[in-house]
Amino acid sequence: MNGSQAVLGTIQDREAAAFYVDGRLDDLLIDSDRPRLGTIYRAKATRPVKGQGGMFFETPDGSMYLRGGKGIAPGDVMLLQVSGYAEPGKAIPVTSKLLFKSRYAIVTPEAPGVNISRAIKDDEARLAIRAAAETELAEASGFGIILRSACLDADPDEIASDVDAMVGLAQAVLQDPDQGLEKLLEGAGPHDIAWRDWGADSTIEESLDDALDGALRSHTPLPGGGSIVVEQTRALIAVDVNSGPDTSHAAGLKVNIAAARALPRALRLQGLGGQIVVDFAPMPKKDRRGLESVLRSALRLDDVETALIGWTTMGLFELSRKRARVPLIEVLT
């Protein structure tokens, strides 16, 4: 099978979606019991974190943590959106900068203006997309709008309808007059995310157990016989790169480049984030900068924010990845 395809179904009675590229599993989403990313709450501030500028909030689904809570006092009520996940037992991270995201548009109430994805480079296409998005409702609201790359192949009426739907949703949430603790908007589930973000034709299946088997494998083979092994510990994610049978002078660099390209997919399939340490195969120090460029390019194509930290004195490479998903192993236990 060539091209991309999203397959919708269930895994262990949970809503799930799998994304295939040329017949190979590239991404897997499974619903969990935790609040979904993007869920919006009306929450009440309870306790500041001294020295860190953060604040804990009470919500209908438990304690949540806002970083940078300057100017907020215990008892204040405000709208917050789930922005990531934390380790079990810790408060869920939230943000006060609300986003309303759909297939073609992201509405940003606190950041006015219209921005178009940099992936759309044709000037005429950008003008047409901007014109479609400047609806009466959008202009009257004063909200900011980010037009996504999916707009390039979309009908102008579909773009306008999508923008109006997100603007209307944002207005309904922001203008809600109540003051009690409440979940105001449920975040997108796997099926909605597949439609919204993957931009591929979808099919319906009852079970995605085959996809689960592929995602749970910690061992990823690489071209040339090498491999990477990803293991989750309580403190960090450890990644080991094995060079395999190749004993040539450039074997280390070749397998490390292949590992750098494969790493985002391996982390994505298992839903892993946090502190990541990679033990690359031995190679000359002069090749490190080139390897970093390959890794940076691979991560740029991934939808989870990941920062390259650098090399340790032991020759390990460190990364910091946003906890944008619940780890797959935790979802299934």
Give residue-wise pLDDT tens across range 145-193: 999 999 998 999 999 999 999 999 999 999 988 889 999 999 999 999 9
Contact 276, 318 (CB under 8 A): yes
3-state SS record for 27-85: EEEECCCCCCCCCEEEEEEEEEECCCCEEEEEECCEEEEECCCCCCCCCCEEEEEECCC
Q: Express each pLDDT in 217-228 by its tens digit.
A: 888 999 888 999
Mean pLDDT of 197-214: 80
Contact 103, 148 (CB under 8 A): yes
What pLDDT shows up at residue 40?
98
What pLDDT shows up at residue 90?
87
CA distance 45 to 35: 18
pTM for this predicted structure:
0.89
Asked if residue 210 has pLDDT above 90, the reply is: no
Give the residue, 57 or 248, on which the prediction is more confident: 57
CATH annotation of 216-331: 3.40.630
* Tokens (6 digits) for 93: 């991270």
Report percent pLDDT > 90 for the chain: 77
CA distance 82 to 99: 10
Q: For residue 67, give Cα distances in angstroms to 45, 56, 188, 236, 302.
A: 12, 9, 23, 21, 24
Asked if residue 305 has pLDDT above 70, the reply is: yes
What pLDDT shows up at residue 216?
78
CA angle 168–169–171, rounded 5-degree value: 65
Q: Express each pLDDT in 231-287 by its tens digit.
A: 998 889 999 999 888 878 889 999 999 999 999 999 999 999 999 999 999 999 999
User: Given CA atoms 73, 75, 77, 78 in this order, what sign does their dihedral have?
Assistant: positive
Query: Residue 136: which pLDDT band, with cuts at 50, 70 and 90?
Result: very high
b/e sequence 51-64, b meaning 16+ C-beta within 10 Å: eeebbbbbbeeeeb
CA distance 235 to 152: 42
> Which residues fall within 8 angstroms of residue 142, CB to CB, at 6 or more apart?
112
Asked if residue 101 has pLDDT above 90, the reply is: yes
Q: Domain 40-96 belongs to what architecture?
A: Beta Barrel (2.40)
